[in-house]
Each structure stands twice: as C-alpha cells, then as structure tokens.
Amino acid sequence: METLISPRSLFPLLKKPTSKSSSSFSRPVSSQSPKLTKPESPAPINLLTDAKQACAVGRRRSMMMGGLLMSGLMLSEANLPTSAFALTPVFREYIDTFDGYSFKYPQNWIQVRGAGADIFFRDPIVLDENLSVEFSSPSSSKYKSLEDLGSPEEAGKRVLRQYLTEFMSTRLGVKRESNILTTSSRVADDGNLYYQVEVNIKSYANNNELAVMPQDRVARLEWDRRYLAVLGVENNRLYSLRLQTPEKVFLEEEKDLRRVMDSFRVEKI
C-alpha cells in the first residue's frame, strides 16, 4: 500500500504525537465541477456528454488493465510468483494525522488544490467524479458522538439540505430534483460508529428562460449525479467524506466508490 506523506510533518511545532508516520496535505476545492458555458441546444449536448463519460470510463479501465498486464509481464520475467501480480494495489492511502482522518482512493486520481474542503481528489478523465473531506470546527460546535445528529435518516436529511444549499442558483428557470436513496450505520474495525448516506440530485434548466410563453420554456436535464457521504465524529468534530459521480457511470464505478467509503476512518489527535 502506497501512503502519501505531508510536508507538515517536517515542522516540529505543528506536529502532534501520533503512532503513525504519515501526515497531512493542504486545502481543497469545491466538490462541484467548474461549469462550462451554457449550450444552445442542451438535449443533444447532454446525450453527447453522457456518451463521452461512458467512453472515458471504459478507456480508463482499458488503460489500467494495460498497465496491470505490463506489470504482470515484468513480474514473470523477474521469475516472481504469480500471486505477487494478483496483489498489485490499485488504491493509495491518504493519512492526515494532523487533522485526524484517513481513507483510500484510486491510484490514478489526482489531488486538486484550491478552496472549500480540507482535501480534494478528482478522476483525471471523468471530471465530475471526485471526493473531498470536510470537518467542523470545535470552536463552533462540539460533537460527542454521531447520535448528536440523530438517527441515520435524520443525518441523511441534513446531508441533503447541505447539498441543495451548495447548489442554489440565481439563474432563471433552474430546478433541482433530489431523493435520499439510502441511509445506514455501521461500526468499523476501529470501533467507531459511521453513518452512510446516498442521495441523487438532478438539475433541470429551461432552454429559453426569458421566453414570455410557458410553452416556449422547455426544461432540459443538465446533469444527474449520485452523492455518497460517510460521517464520523472524533476530536469534538464532525467529519464528512463526500463522493460524487454521474449516475450514468455509477454502476461501473460502484465497487471502487464503496471501497473508498468503507476505508474512511477518524482517529484521535
């Protein structure tokens, strides 16, 4: 397993006593992808975008398989056992001992630096697929456990409200449709309780929002996305791992996304 190590570990004044050797990175960007210019004909463009996303996922899979096959060839030439090739890792681990959390992510995802979350990773091919981690400040609110949020269902409503608030738009004729798909709780191998929430959000926009007649304002689907969140409490903070992916590619990416969700951990600092 390959582990990222933060430059903050080089500064003694910022380093906290910990049993781990890895440290953190820096601040992220918004989980929402940059908005492109509005197309004149949304329907065909949306179909083309969906096709491109599906092709991009297939192309990425082909590239990863090609790399793994090449690695297998190199291992065979080195007379290494075939089991070594079977265990080739496809995930990296990010450990932030400064802020107290860790998770695994696909090895081909890249870190994007900006503003918004504490850390942000993005698929370099399917740009609408990304993950971020955020946490509350103990100075504004102190969380003792996830029960402070209520049941998983109540936490799910809170997560959905937060998403809808972030996606509020001042554009005319924009409509959001949202649904909470699943909510659940689990106790991980670290003994901590975690809530998992999955929601779907669709965005519609009128093709001619300034038209006088209602029949001239036709709503078109802009995007359709799946949002997955994992919540945990430690250090008097509420931690949130958030994943985003287009619905069109969710089934193909689901296994990897759920592995990221299951790997999320919070720890004392």
Q: Which two tokens stand for residue 69?
A: 């096959």
Can you give the pLDDT at residue 42?
A: 44
Q: What is the pLDDT of residues 254-267, one digit of tens each?
A: 999 999 999 999 99
Examine the pLDDT at 105 and tell me if it is beyond 90: yes
Q: What is the pLDDT of residues 15-48, one digit of tens each?
A: 444 444 444 444 443 444 444 444 444 444 454 4
Q: What is the pLDDT of residues 186-236, one digit of tens each?
A: 999 999 999 999 999 999 988 776 656 666 677 889 999 999 999 999 999
Examine the pLDDT at 171 and tell me if it is beyond 50: yes
Nearest to 102 by CA among 183, 6, 17, 195: 6
Determine whether 200 is exposed, middle or buried from the number of CB atoms within 10 Å of its CB (0-12, 13-18, 19+): middle
Return the CATH architecture of domain 91-266. 3-Layer(aba) Sandwich (3.40)
Confidence of residue 244 (pLDDT cuts 50, 70, 90): very high
Task: Enter the pTM of the model.
Answer: 0.67
Q: What is the mean pLDDT of the chain?
A: 77
Give the list of residues 6+ apart from residue 6 with CB closer than 8 angstroms, or none. 22, 23, 24, 25, 96, 98
Mean pLDDT, to the nearest integer, of 127-136?
95
Give the residue extent of every domain in the chain.
Answer: 91-266
Give the list of residues 6+ apart from residue 235 with CB closer than 8 angstroms, or none. 100, 138, 266, 268, 269
